[in-house]
Amino acid sequence: MVTLEQYEEHDAVGLAERVARREVSPEELLDAALAKAAAVNPSLNALVHLAPDVARRHIVDGLPDGPLRGVPFLLKDLGCEAVDFPGSNGSVLLANTRYTGNCNLYERLRAAGLVAFGRTTAPEGGVGPVTEAAVYGGPTRNPWSLERTPGGSSGCAAAAVAAGVVPAAHGSDGGGSVRIPASSCGLFGLKPTRARLPDGPYAGEGWAGMAIDGFLTRSVRDTAALLDATHGPDLGAPYHAPPLGGTFMQALERPPGRLRVAFNDRSPAGGTIHPACGRAVAETATLLESLGHHVEEAAPTADVAAMMRAWTVIVACGTALWVRGKLESRGRPLEEGELEPVALAACRYARSLDGADYLAAVEQVHAFGRQVARFFADYDVLLTPTLAEPPALVGRFAHRFEDFEAYRLGPDGVFAYSPYTAAANATGQPAASLPLHWTDDDLPVGVQLSCAFGRDELLVSLSAQVEAAKPWFHRRPDPDVFASPPAA
């Protein structure tokens, strides 16, 4: 019998090692995860499509002898298609969608021995830095403060990991959707190089190559283990990431060497950043310097604002595509209440564009990537805040907005709140948020490290070095904060 305290004191690799030594069984770990889920989900509203019977069947049938055998796991309710786990993709329009086959990523996660038992909520279509979708009956809340959002679009994966339901969870990132929740919930979140993880067979690419899957974890080594289990092209992939020199677990043990680190805490959106975010960058720059790296203030000269306008065009067109696909497949028009205002606004905005506008946006994104690549010829790493502020209050970025451009690019919009993360999606570079700072009132503040295209192993190596110098694993939210549902 494993207690909840024992369950939560290990990361996924540690739990798998205990299973391998027969100190605990997969059934006991699943029971612990389900007990924790039952205790916290009334407050957080993070878990949906729970299927413990499926998880138990997989255990009884025999788990693959993978590196994470027996560890409970959650899938984001956006993508990661699996026959045993229907999804709603954050939308009433797509509620309880059933899949006829498993995606390649899910097959690789299963082969690693993970025991999936449900999904974590997501905003409609993955748009937005929060997780507040009507299909789930209300917002998902942050275990550090129930008044705050856990971020988006993988905010509920982050909430579940931070609250101790699972040690690691699946996410995805098209503009910061792994790193924003990692910053908001005090976790490690890495967006790999474009095409490092498989997209097929349900998709060729996401948002013109800007979207990719990823993971939310409490330790760097859990991310390394998950990447080792899932990376590599799948059949028919339109492009491949550069080959790796070894495994990600090996990168943990390999010193990164003396790196050229640029740091920048000026917002490319033109606004000011919260003092805590500035302090986080300054303290991390000092830490990196103490580790022997060359650190200086510098930033790419590429036009981030122009890239974000192009990003907005691409995402609006992507939203219109999945909405049209659903309506065509069912053979009847949209009904009242099936889409939230932001998705409707994105569809309207997409209708104002033509094919040339879309291709011009893709070209702008590619041009941005080439400009930034020149910067990384002189520097190994760029250090920035992950967000311009601590986690936002619930409701600030709810999908009630009816102007898609204003929601994304307005003075109080998403770009002003998260002006740093989407750059790595546009360039395809690897980038990670590390939980290295907390505000005076105990809210997490992440810092972002990004490396040149294809240098995922270097990013993992550096992140492990920083984690060893300033550990964060045992810093957890107070369970009393999310022990009961918030007041109505």
For residue 263, what are the β-bridge partners?
297, 383
Other C-beta atoms within 10 Å of 440: how many? Answer: 6
With 0-12 / 13-18 / 19 or more C-beta atoms within 10 angstroms meaning exposed / middle / buried, residue 404 is buried
6-17 as b/e, with b when 16 or more CB fall inside 10 Å?
ebbebbbbebbb
Q: Which of 43, 145, 172, 177 is catalytic?
A: 177
For residue 456, what are the β-bridge partners?
none
Separation between Cα atoms, residue 158 and residue 46, nearest integer Å? 9
The token pair that represents 296 in the structure block: 């200086």
Whether 172 is a known active-site residue: answer no
The vertex-343 CA angle with 329 and 92, nearest 5°, equals 55
Which letter does DSSP use for residue 140 in this model? -
Separation between Cα atoms, residue 124 and residue 131, nearest integer Å? 8
Whether 91 is a known active-site residue: answer no
- Residue 118: partners with Cβ closer than 8 Å, 6 or more residues away: 37, 47, 48, 49, 50, 51, 52, 74, 75, 85
Cα distances (Å, whole numbers) of residue 94 to 129, 330, 400: 20, 11, 18
Q: Which of 43, 153, 183, 450 is catalytic?
A: 153
Q: Which of 36, 43, 76, 463 is catalytic?
A: 76
**What residues act catalytically?**
76, 153, 177
